[in-house]
Structure 1
Amino acid sequence: MHQQLRTLSKENAEGVAQHLVMVAALLEAEEFDAAMAHAETAVRRAGRVPAAREALGMVAYRTGDFARALGEFRTVRRISGSDHLLPLMVDSERGLGRLDRALDLAQSPEAKRLPAQDRVELAIVVSGIRRDLGQTDAALVALQIPELKRPKQPRLAYAYADTLLGLGRDEEAREWFQRAADADEDYETDAVERLEELDGIAVTDLLPGEEELAPLPPEERTGDGADRA
């Protein structure tokens, strides 16, 4: 990003950088309207800077405006020559309901040249598309990439577990949810909660201000077997 901003004047580069930092922070806080305002300002000031267009595309993607997101991602790809947004482009096509076009893009030569982590994200998206099409077996196969056998892939392991569960393979699903939970140091998934569900553990979230009550002693209980005639 720093290299991209060097094409601007120093004053403009500093201003655009501040807007991009705000976009990232506001997206993290899920304040999408404010994030969009900063992203649009960055693009007005630096429309030929890929990072600015990517930021705008990312806000659009997070808010479900897949047509706009796809347009921005295509622009980034054209002016930067980078294919790193291909997984998001495929998912945007999916969001627009164009599943065949999404699969065609996922099988393009450029997709096959993606680095490892981008391949992981693409595999997760393709698996989701196969499930949308009712092709659950194919969805599982889509996730069987070399990275699946490597540690520190919580999202991939989670997707694999969820797909196994969809196939009724509960014991295997539990094993993969456990792998996801073990690898998920940044809490990217709810693998722990899914494990608890499989194990039949019910967790109740109390409303703010509520306190969990201790069980009443037997002599103060009503409605149980001791009070029945």
Structure 2
Amino acid sequence: MAEQRRSQRPASGKPSGGRPTGAKKTSGGKPASGGRSAKSGERSQRWSPDAERSDRRDSRSGRPPAKGAPKSGAKGGARSGGKPGDRPGRKNDWKRPADKQADRTAEQAVYDGPDLPESITGAELDRSVTGQLKGLPEKLAARVARHLAAAGMLVDEDPETAYQHTLAARARAPRLAVVREACGEAAYAAGHYAEALAELRAAKRMNGATAYLPIMADCHRALGKPQEALKLAKSPSVANFAPEPKAEMTIVEAGARRDLGQLDAALRTLELAPLMSKSRSSWVVRLRYAYADTLEAAGRDQDALMWFHRTHAIDADELTDADERADALEKRLG
């Protein structure tokens, strides 16, 4: 889970984990911090084919044409190199025996994506996501929905395959914010931080959502750019975040300070957060854990022990290893 792994390693610069938005959870996993805001779907642009894309994709199936195939706008017959009466841009490989068909290009392989189990129909997605797919042709929307649903189901156990599913969805509907968002979050889970940052930036441009900022900041940390993470942490919109995404950004900001060797500043950042909240929500657990971990890094072992115990006291879902960290500290302190 993204939050658990990030809160346990706030100084590592190797964040990971997250769930592509929209797919219903199929396990106990938590959505990635900074996921799609409730209203982002209302602001996203709908995608539809245009003339520029028609040159790159078969006009009927939407697949990338085979290498060397005529563009879909070309004339038929002798001008396209085919027989008189051939339909423009028609692909005939499907008629050939399997052993004589051309190999799939890398672009076509990405477009195909991983195999889709028949049990995944796309109905697994939230309505807010399927609503954004209605601007696509019916068959195309169904295929995109299935890839997004598959990604959501696989992201915790097989994030790389989940990422490949989102790439297949993006190849079909690159102008949908929810698709770029899912692609970004899956890339983040799979450890492709530069790609995740690019996709989430694209989604933010499309729908104006700011809820991606914590993950984007965490990507900057993973790419060795803590100063960029701090810039995002100081964005004006962060002040209006709900408690959970605000806590996520606080953890990332403190981690960036640690990346820069600024332990005192990291502690001050965390001390301004509601560490003593009476809530037992996961964001409070992660805040307390990050504070305890930073205290230990600063050499304040007794204070760290106290906060690991306070973390464990509210960590009913065992999001962290606070109990193990507390035991190790007690043994070291004698």
CA deviations 1:169-191 (Å, max 9, x no partner) are 22221221122222223322111
Q: For residues 6 and 22 of structure 1, what CA distance do their matches in structure 2 show?
A: 19
Structure 2 counterpart of 1:97? 224
On the 8 A contact 1:127/1:143 being kept in 2, the answer is: yes
Letter in 1 for 2:150: M
1:157 to 288, 312, 316: 288
Letter in 2 for 1:194: R
Aligned positions of 1:128-147 closer than 5 A:
128-147=255-274
Structure 2 residue ranges without an equivalent (≥5): 1-128
On the 8 A contact 2:163/2:190 being kept in 1, the answer is: no
1:4 to 95, 117, 132: 132
Q: For residues 84 and 95 of structure 1, what CA distance do their matches in structure 2 show?
A: 19
On the 8 A contact 2:247/2:273 being kept in 1, the answer is: no
Q: For residues 259 and 319 of structure 2, what CA distance do their matches in structure 1 show?
A: 23
CA deviations 1:4-46 (Å, max 9, x no partner) are 23333444333322222211221111x2331122111111222
Of 70-79 and 184-193, more deviation after overlay is shown by 184-193
Residue 177 (1) aligns with residue 308 (2): yes
On the 8 A contact 2:267/2:291 being kept in 1, the answer is: yes
Q: For residues 85 and 129 of structure 1, what CA distance do their matches in structure 2 show?
A: 17
On the 8 A contact 1:20/1:38 being kept in 2, the answer is: yes
Structure 1 counterpart of 2:125? none
Of 99-108 and 3-12, more deviation after overlay is shown by 3-12
Residue 24 (1) aligns with residue 152 (2): yes
On the 8 A contact 1:116/1:147 being kept in 2, the answer is: no
Q: For residues 312 and 147 of structure 2, what CA distance do their matches in structure 1 show?
A: 35
User: Structure 2 vs 1, CA of residues 142 and 35 (structure 1 numbering), >3 Å: closer, same or farther?
Assistant: same
1:106 to 233, 236, 241: 233
User: Structure 2 vs 1, CA of residues 186 and 9 (structure 1 numbering), >3 Å: closer, same or farther?
Assistant: farther
CA deviations 1:146-182 (Å, max 9, x no partner) are 4322122111110011011112222221221122222
Of 151-160 and 168-177, more deviation after overlay is shown by 168-177
Residue 84 (1) aligns with residue 224 (2): no
Letter in 2 for 1:183: I
Structure 1 counterpart of 2:317? 186
Q: Aligned to 1:147, what secondary structure does the other structure show?
A: coil
Higher helix share: 1
On the 8 A contact 1:157/1:177 being kept in 2, the answer is: yes
Letter in 2 for 1:22: A
Q: For residues 79 and 144 of structure 1, what CA distance do their matches in structure 2 show?
A: 35
Residue 148 (1) aligns with residue 279 (2): no
Q: Aligned to 2:211, what secondary structure does the other structure show?
A: coil
**RMSD in angstroms over aligned alpha carbons?**
1.8
Q: For residues 157 and 3 of structure 1, what CA distance do their matches in structure 2 show?
A: 38
Residue 45 (1) aligns with residue 172 (2): yes
Q: For residues 318 and 138 of structure 2, what CA distance do their matches in structure 1 show?
A: 38
TM-score by length of 1: 0.80
Structure 1 counterpart of 2:326? 195
Q: For residues 145 and 4 of structure 1, what CA distance do their matches in structure 2 show?
A: 38
